[in-house]
Amino acid sequence: MTALDSGKADTPVANLVESFVRATPDRLGEEFRRLAAKVWEAGTVTAAAPDAVPALVAALDTAPAPAQRARLALLLGLLAEASAPSAEAASVRQAVHSRLPGYLELLLGTAEAAADEPIRQALLFLVAHFPEDREEILAVAGKIDLGEEDLSRLERCLKPLDADDPAVTRVWPYPAVWSSLDEADRDFDRQWMRQLPAEQLALAWTLDTQSLLAYSGARAFWTCERGAVVGGPEPDLTLPTVEGVTAAEADPLGGHGAALRCPSCHAPLQVSNAAATCTGCGVRHPVVDGYLDLSAGAGDAFDPMTRTVPRRYSDIRPAFLRWKGSNWDGEVTVSGEDEYLRTHVRPVDGPILDLAAGTGRWTSVLAETFGADRVIALDLSRAMMEETRRGLPEVFGVRGNALALPFTDASLGAVNCWNALQSLPDPAPAIAEVGRCLRPGGTFTLMTFRPSLDPLYRYFQTRPFGLVPVTLSDPEQLRGQLAAAGMRVREQYTPGSFLFITAVRDRD
């Protein structure tokens, strides 16, 4: 039985509320989980929830400590968000909503002191669920020095969909981040967004809202449990200058032609400066802007959506790691990630593949460590490949699919997949492809995310990331997938909700 399960006994809600209000600081977390379990479970309300709301609101008004009021506001927000399609859930939301003036009064009373941060964040999460009161809520928010992050996130959560200017997928981690896009990029975005079918546009808008609410809730939960989020400047995610050979200028395949194969029929490729033509099925794969396009059209539908993402990557990634990896304390750092790759990637003969390379930030670490002529950067996104080529022109780039790697069996000396495996609905096929392509003795390094051990935080962690699926990997299940692909785990590191793994391809 987990701590969250322990509140499911037939203890009256009033008793649980009283125990929570009277709890000493060392027991506050446990008593809160007992109370939460009585009224809420994994996004749905329990039978006890309708009668519990008045007691929870009363306790919010009278609880002696900010830490208690913050948790109560967080729980009320979870009850307001409950999505069960039932009259019970609707009545709970209505009951929570009816006390909005009291929440706004509390929000207005939060000061600049650090002690008020947990209740401020919890109240922002709570009131963000009531778009019907947008003007009233924003009027109060405008009287508080929230900062552009919290304020723009709150504004977007409360904003109704405008089909003429929807701005879908351009709100994470908070809308103000995207305000620096130039007018040409904004016009481009408006055009493709307006062309989306009405149902898809509405879905994208809803999922974006859910992502922002989940981030807000996760942050509030962290501040309730641990205190303020670690601040400071954003980490440097720019590409360092890499001194390396420029073989790609003379050979469009960067000297790696022997490792490549047609992604469709698996036959060898015949290379020219402008294309690689399959010797089996005859399909011509173009060389575009210095990289070889072996995507066969996969991912084209998402090209407009990802076009401007690389420009906001330094803002998007840290927030994503806080949310999915519980990295609110900054335990995992960019320099630590760099060092992990330098010390754990151990290639045998053959190219080193950076799978789902993104903007190429960790491709550059591999290139610095092992030589640019030895590294291949692969990503399905055209925008990401273009960004990598701009920063690392000496590294051979391939646009391709992780589920059908365009490499011959046992051709790669090492594979790295950093902060990407979670974007696949099922990581197993990609892992199987890595096992097929990796030479015996070569390493497979990866960083992804595991489900939080805390059921409350896990709820926020598993909420959608816009239109992009996020799959959390159970460590034991992932070990099984690696074993099925012929790899054994050499090292596993799990800070927060991260999952760092180094596996080695078994020798036949």
- Return the CATH number at 358: 3.40.50.150
Q: Is the pLDDT of residue 280 over 80?
A: yes
Question: Quick one: pLDDT band at residue 226, thresholds 50, 70, 90?
Answer: confident
Q: Which of 180, 210, 226 represents a domain boundary (last residue)?
A: 226
Query: In the block, which residue shows the tokens 């807000």?
Result: 216
Regarding whether 295 and 222 lie in a shared domain, the answer is no
Question: Quick one: pLDDT band at residue 70, thresholds 50, 70, 90?
Answer: very high
Query: Which ranges of 171-328 would DSSP assign to H, the alpha helix?
Result: 183-194, 198-226, 247-250, 303-306, 313-325
Regarding whether 138 and 31 lie in a shared domain, the answer is yes
Regarding whether 15 and 119 lie in a shared domain, the answer is yes
Rounded Cα–Cα distance for residues 51 and 48 (Å): 6
Rounded Cα–Cα distance for residues 167 and 175 (Å): 9
238 found inside a domain: no
Q: Is the pLDDT of residue 85 over 70?
A: no
DSSP class of 97? H
pLDDT in tens, 342-361: 999 999 999 999 999 999 99
Q: Which of 199, 226, 253 represents a domain boundary (last residue)?
A: 226
399 found inside a domain: yes
Question: Quick one: pLDDT band at residue 304, thresholds 50, 70, 90?
Answer: confident
**Residue-level pLDDT at 8:** 47
**Residue-level pLDDT at 3:** 42
**Residue-level pLDDT at 211:** 97
Q: Is the pLDDT of residue 5 over 50?
A: no
Contacts of 50 (CB under 8 A, 6+ apart): 88, 91, 92, 95
Question: Quick one: pLDDT band at residue 1, thresholds 50, 70, 90?
Answer: very low
Structural contact between residues 178 and 171, judged by C-beta atoms closer than 8 angstroms: yes
483 found inside a domain: yes
**Residue-level pLDDT at 393:** 92
Q: Is the pLDDT of residue 112 over 90?
A: no
Question: Quick one: pLDDT band at residue 453, thresholds 50, 70, 90?
Answer: very high
239 found inside a domain: no
271 found inside a domain: no
Return mean pLDDT, the chain: 90
Question: Quick one: pLDDT band at residue 272, thresholds 50, 70, 90?
Answer: confident
Question: Quick one: pLDDT band at residue 246, thresholds 50, 70, 90?
Answer: very low
CA distance between the termini of the chain: 44
**Residue-level pLDDT at 241:** 55
What percentage of the chain has pLDDT greater than the value 90? 75
DSSP-derived secondary structure for 375-427: EEEEES-HHHHHHHHHH-TTSEEEE--TTS-SB-TT-EEEEEEES-GGGSS-S
398 found inside a domain: yes
Query: In the block, which residue shows the tokens 């009951």?
Result: 95
Structural contact between residues 369 and 345, judged by C-beta atoms closer than 8 angstroms: yes
Regarding whether 322 and 188 lie in a shared domain, the answer is no
Number of domains the chain is built from? 2
pLDDT in tens, 364-376: 999 999 999 999 9
Cα within 13 Å of Cα(357), Cβ side: 35
Tell me the three state secondary structure of residue 292: strand
Structural contact between residues 399 and 295, judged by C-beta atoms closer than 8 angstroms: yes
Residues 20, 61, 461, CA angle at the centre, nearest 5°?
A: 60
Q: Of 128-142, 209-223, 305-319, 470-484, which gets the smallest average pLDDT?
A: 305-319
pLDDT in tens, 22-50: 999 999 999 999 999 999 999 999 999 99
Which one is predicted more confidently, 126 or 111?
Answer: 126
Regarding whether 295 and 149 lie in a shared domain, the answer is no
Regarding whether 393 and 472 lie in a shared domain, the answer is yes
265 found inside a domain: no
Mean pLDDT, rounded, for 101-107: 95
Q: Which of 226, 256, 275 represents a domain boundary (last residue)?
A: 226
Regarding whether 83 and 185 lie in a shared domain, the answer is yes
Q: Is the pLDDT of residue 10 over 60?
A: yes
CA nearest neighbour of 315 among 202, 493, 181, 423: 181
Regarding whether 320 and 204 lie in a shared domain, the answer is no
CA nearest neighbour of 389 among 363, 426, 368, 418: 363
pLDDT in tens, 469-493: 899 999 999 999 999 999 999 999 9
Contacts of 463 (CB under 8 A, 6+ apart): 210, 211, 213, 214
Q: Is the pLDDT of residue 410 over 80?
A: yes
Residues 172, 468, 424, CA angle at the centre, nearest 5°?
A: 140
Structural contact between residues 102 and 61, judged by C-beta atoms closer than 8 angstroms: yes
Mean pLDDT, rounded, for 150-176: 94
Q: Is the pLDDT of residue 245 over 50?
A: no
Tell me the three state secondary structure of residue 311: helix
Distance of CA 294 to the CA centre of its chain: 26
pLDDT in tens, 132-144: 999 999 999 999 9
Q: Domain containing 108: what range? A: 5-226
Which one is predicted more confidently, 240 or 295?
Answer: 295
Tell me the C-alpha to C-alpha distance, in Å, between residue 360 and each of 87, 96, 106: 49, 46, 46
**Beta strands across the sheet bearing 412-418:** 269-271, 275-278, 284-288, 291-293, 396-399, 375-379, 352-355, 412-418, 438-449, 498-505, 487-493
- pTM comes to 0.92
Contacts of 306 (CB under 8 A, 6+ apart): 381, 382, 383, 384
Mean pLDDT, rounded, for 192-211: 94
Structural contact between residues 156 and 148, judged by C-beta atoms closer than 8 angstroms: no
Characterize the bridge pairing of strands 40-41 and 44-45: antiparallel
**Residue-level pLDDT at 36:** 97
268 found inside a domain: no
Regarding whether 356 and 219 lie in a shared domain, the answer is no
Regarding whether 222 and 298 lie in a shared domain, the answer is no
**Residue-level pLDDT at 384:** 93
Q: Is the pLDDT of residue 7 over 80?
A: no
Task: Give the amino acid at 91.
Answer: S
The number of beta carbons lying within 10 Å of the beta carbon of residue 339 is: 12
